[in-house]
Amino acid sequence: MTDSITTHQATDDARNAEIKIYVNGELAPRDQAKISVYDSGFMLGDGIWEGLRLYNGTWAFLNEHMDRLFEAALALDLNIGMDRAGVIKALEATRHANGMTDNTHARLMITRGPKTRPFQHPALSQSGPTMVIICEHSTPSIPRPIRLATVPHMRGLPMTQDPKLNSHSKLNCILACIAAEKAGADEALMLDVNGFVNTTNACNFFIVRKGAVWTSTGDYCMNGITRQKVIDLCRANGIPVYERNFSLVDTYGADEAFLTGTFGAQTPVASLDGRSIGSGKLGPVTTRLRALYKDLIAQETT
Ligand SMILES: Cc1ncc(COP(=O)(O)O)c(C=O)c1O
């Protein structure tokens, strides 16, 4: 496929070659920002992360991101080594060091830290966590609606690796994405263990049928902050919205489909498994939700 794109595509920005990156309290130029090869995140994917966006000098939905981060840390029994105020201070220091006020995306990563020996046991991480914050100048530029392919990789049950955890290890999602690309699509649509449509490998998934907005029950997907905001916006604006089980049949026959995530907000879907979804273009309900979300961001960040 010659025109393959990703759901996290941004305009090229030469300033990103020169950014300063936060590594454990220090701000290092990008080419000097380093962590140990013994780090649990590198070696085992043992860590957690958040993706945040800065609008008008304010991190959107910061409380929600901090709630999710600290909840994930509890689940992993990972001591972040600082409180919420400390994490926010580090985020702010990073964006200020880069002179960023808008159109900025942060990836905030915390791992269990360097291990004394190259093995799995978490107790081998003995010198405290590693915290890295990458802030990039970032203006999303997704040139056309996204093509999806359904893949055999599933969103698993909570007792394996809970799909709600924003863990460093994303191998299940990466394998799904590779399978979708091989099938000529941009991103993968993943089903849950019962065969219902669940989520994509990197975003939450919605369909629109007869003016109503449907998304999965939420049981097997990332508890996306944008997902919740879209549900809340529907409820506040008289748009029928359902968190429910639905199948590929319902999806192929939908009038519109879109993805949600902090980076792309609401990204229209053109097709699934080679079938056009509705007109294959940005539809009226998605357009309306994009406008409502934009207004919400403006309210939250003034
Ligand atoms: C698998 C997955 N789904 C959905 C999302 C979107 O979540 P949010 O809206 O909080 O960015 C993410 C982002 O972290 C993700 O990794």
The alpha carbon of 126 and the centre of ligand 1 are apart by a number of angstroms equal to 30
> Which of 7, 203, 227, 231 maximizes ligand 1 atoms within 8 Å of its Cβ, making it the mutation to test the pocket?
203
Return the ligand 1 atom nearest residue 227 CA: 9
| pLDDT-based confidence at residue 302 (cuts at 50, 70, 90) | confident
Would you say the CB of residue 200 lies under 6 angstroms from ligand 1? no
Per the prediction, the chain carries an average pLDDT of: 96
What the block records as the tokens of 44 is 């085992």
Mean pLDDT across 57-79: 98
**CA-proximal residue: ligand 1, atom 5 (nearest):** 203
- Give the closest residue (by CA) to ligand 1 atom 3: 203
Bridge partners of residue 279, in order along the sequence: none
Residue 143 has a pLDDT of: 86
pTM for the whole structure: 0.96
Distance (Å) of CA 268 to CA 1, 247, 265: 20, 19, 10
Residue 202 C-alpha to ligand 1 middle, in angstroms? 6
Count Cβ atoms below 10 Å from residue 143 Cβ, excluding itself.
7
Instruction: Report the separation in Å between the CA atom of 164 and the middle of ligand 1, taken as the mean of its atom positions.
Output: 9
Distance 109 CA to ligand 1 centre (A): 14
Pocket test for ligand 1, best of 262, 266, 267, 293 (most atoms within 8 A of CB): 262
Which residues face 63 on adjacent strands? none
| Mean pLDDT confidence for 162-169 | 94
With a CB cutoff of 8 Å and minimum separation 6, the contacts of 283 are 208, 255, 256, 268
Q: Which atom of ligand 1 is nearest to the CA of 226?
A: 9
Looking from the CA of 191 toward its CB, the CA atoms found within 13 Å total 13
User: Which whole number is the average pLDDT over 241-252?
Assistant: 98
Whether 228 shows a pLDDT value over 70: the answer reads yes
259 lines ligand 1 (CB under 6 A): no
Instruction: For residue range 22-36, list pLDDT tens digits in order.
Output: 999 999 999 999 999
For ligand 1, whether the C-beta of 198 sits within 6 Å is no
Span 98-118, mean pLDDT?
98
Could you tell me the distance, in angstroms and rounded to a whole number, from the CA of residue 260 to the centre of ligand 1?
8
Q: From the CA of 204, give the closest atom in ligand 1.
A: 4
Q: Read off the pLDDT of residues 247-276 as tens digits, 9 standing for 90 and up.
A: 999 999 999 999 999 999 999 999 999 999
* Mean pLDDT on 108-123: 98
Rounded to the nearest angstrom, the distance between the alpha carbon of 116 and the centre of ligand 1 is 32
| Ligand 1 and 65: CB distance under 6 A | no
- The two tokens of residue 174 are 């990466």
Ligand 1 pocket test, candidate residues 67, 204, 215, most atoms within 8 A of CB: 204
- Rg of the chain over all Cα atoms, to the nearest angstrom: 19
Instruction: Name the strand (E) or helix (H) holding 108.
Output: strand 104-111
> Of all residues in the chain, what percent carry a pLDDT higher than 90?
94
Condensed to tens digits (0 to 9), the pLDDT of residues 187-200 reads: 999 999 999 999 99
Would you state the pLDDT for residue 3? 81
Which among 223, 231, 178 is positioned nearest to 206, based on CA atoms? 231
Q: Residue 1: what pLDDT?
A: 45
Q: Measured in angstroms, how far is the CA atom of residue 222 from the centroid of ligand 1?
A: 6
| Distance separating alpha carbons of residues 300 and 271, to the nearest angstrom | 33
User: Which has the higher per-residue pLDDT, 160 or 123?
Assistant: 123
State yes or no: pLDDT of 207 exceeds 60: yes
Q: Give mean pLDDT, residues 88-109.
A: 98
100 has a pLDDT exceeding 50: yes
Give strand ranges (E) for 226-277. 241-243, 256-261, 265-272, 275-276
* pLDDT tens string 128-159: 999 999 999 998 888 899 999 999 999 999 99
pLDDT above 70 (res 226): yes
What's the mean pLDDT in 110-139? 97
**Predicted local distance difference test score (pLDDT) of residue 91:** 98
State mean pLDDT over 231-235.
Answer: 98
